[in-house]
Amino acid sequence: MSYDKEILNEEFFRDRVPTVTLEGKRRWMYAWQPKGKFYNMRSVLSVFYLVVFFGLPFVTINGNPMLQLNVVEGKFSILGMLFWPQDFFIFGLAMVTMVVFVYLFTMIYGRLFCGWICPQTIFMEMVFRRIEWWIEGNPNKQRALKAAPWNMNKIAKKVLKHASFFAIAFLIANTFLSYIIGKDALLKIIREPVSMHFGGFVALMVFTFVFYAVYAFVREIVCTIVCPYGRLQGVLLDRNSIVVAYDYNRGEPRGKGKRPHEGMGDCVDCHQCVVVCPTGIDIRNGTQLECINCTACIDACNHVMDRVGLPQGLIRYASENEIAKKEKFKFSGRMKGYTVVLVLVLVGLATLLLTRNDVDATLMRARGQLFQEVGTDSLSNLYNLTLVNKTHGEVPVTLKLEGTTGRIRLIGNEHSLVTPAEGQGAATFFVILPKSEIKSRETKIKLAIYKGGKKMRTLKTIFLGYTE
């Protein structure tokens, strides 16, 4: 196995990006496949993740997609519930909740998300890199293939690898698009002539080329330079954060040779933790921005410790305080503060979700109108009602006045309204109140909206009018 000594330079590693050479060129990462319990666990989790990722667009709840984020039309379906631009305040609060959660989670668990859940890591390490190992062999063979002249063997391997990468990128792009426009719209793009869905076809190809470029060429640069979450690590982590860490108290002074050895630490300086690292760093230099907590170095080092007869865990999940002062995990004041904020926004979000209606309604008095006499004993006011149906089905509604003997007279002579699926309904109607119930110039009235026999919501408004 080989590794790049430049990366290991303890003096300069913080001044350099591991993916760039001293001459400013791209340094290609040839990571070895780790073997160990963490890699096995990540493999199992990635199978589950891939099944969920590719299967979710086909799952529906009550006829609505389980997850669809149609940013083009501003329609969202989450857990089968439809959300519209009118629900923007729910999204606003959901975003705040997510940001606080990410802060809190990162403060406690470091970049656990990057190594175990992030789609970029799962696809890169568990799908594309495995294909690369399978076609081109281990990093030594990959280096040899790169240096070899363009013969039939090299051409065949490169074509097979890039064709496989492109096919999977195309599959990912299809799935990704179905999360935006829905599976039915995607199937139309696939089945019908390109000319009928030119925009959708272009989007599909753009996504395909972007995914192909990311996994075939850009790779770990997404994590080390592009991803904003990765860039935030410096301000989110503290000495209590649990990260993948090298126990320098136990490992140093490092050096080759048999263990135990008087005056030597447990690190046998074998560089196994470096050659498996997909971002090309040496974790023995300390926590670094480039570390995606993929645990490959833990597996590699545990394997070495087994071979030399020392306990596992020279590289492990641990906080800086745990390693430096042998302190147990401490729930810091900053963590407590974020937890309180998180609980508050979660309660707010849950309240908004539980009190959210399938139909939004806006009631306004007609402009420029005061009141009219109706017969000798009543007055009327004219109102406009707008209804927004957020469901996939028609919603018939009925209007009723509450707390009065007055009545409603809909323009159009109907007593019930039907709001079309995913559309708007509007009604104009008179509210007629007996003069005996009008005590001042402004009378507060309540209008209830019923769906079937169930009251959905009550609207309050003012009835204008006076009697001699």
- Site residues (vs ligand SF4, CB under 6 A): 244, 246, 251, 267-273, 276-279, 281, 283-284, 291-297, 300-301, 304, 314-315
Nearer to ligand SF4 (CB atom), residue 293 or residue 378: 293
Please, what is the minimum distance in Å from the beta carbon of residue 106 to ligand SF4? 15
The single residue listed with the structure tokens 């490169």 is 158
Q: Which is nearer to ligand SF4, 250 or 451 (CB)?
A: 250
Handedness of CA 368, 371, 372, 374 (dihedral sign): positive
Alpha helices in 85-138, H assignment, sequence order: 88-109, 112-116, 119-121, 129-136
Q: How far is CA 359 from the centre of its chain?
A: 27
How many helices (H) and strands (E) would you count in the chain?
A: 17, 16
Report which secondary-structure segment, H or E, holds 61.
strand 60-61
Report yes or no: 457 and 357 within 8 Å, Cβ to Cβ.
yes
- Residue 26 is given by DSSP the state B
Least distance between ligand SF4 and beta carbon 249 (Å): 13
Distance, CA of 115 to CA of 279 (rounded, Å): 12
Nearest residue (CB) to ligand SF4, 56 versus 225: 225
Q: How far is the CB of 323 from ligand SF4 (least distance, A)?
A: 13
Give all strands (DSSP E) within 233-295, no chain letters.
243-246
Question: Closest distance between ligand SF4 and the C-beta of residue 49, in Å?
Answer: 18
CB of 302 to ligand SF4, least distance (A): 8
User: In angstroms, what is the minimal distance from the CB of 255 to ligand SF4?
Assistant: 10
E strands in 189-306: 243-246
- Which CB, 2 or 424, lies closer to ligand SF4? 2
Is the link from the previous residue into 65 a cis peptide, with omega within 30 of 0? no
Measure CA 384 to chain center.
40
Q: Which CB sits closer to ligand SF4, 294 or 361? A: 294
Question: 198-213 and 183-191 are packed helices; what angle lies between their axes, rounded to 10 degrees?
Answer: 100
Alpha-carbon distance of 369 to 380, in angstroms, equals 10
Nearest approach, Cβ of 209 to ligand SF4 (angstroms)?
27
Kindly tell me which of 36 and 406 has the beta carbon lying closer to ligand SF4.
36
What's the min distance (Å) between Cβ of 237 and ligand SF4?
13
Say which residue the tokens 């303890």 belong to: 10
- Read off the tokens for 25: 């060129």
Measured from the CB atom, the residue of 123 and 179 that comes closer to ligand SF4 is: 123
If the CB atoms of residues 295 and 378 are measured against ligand SF4, the closer one turns out to be 295
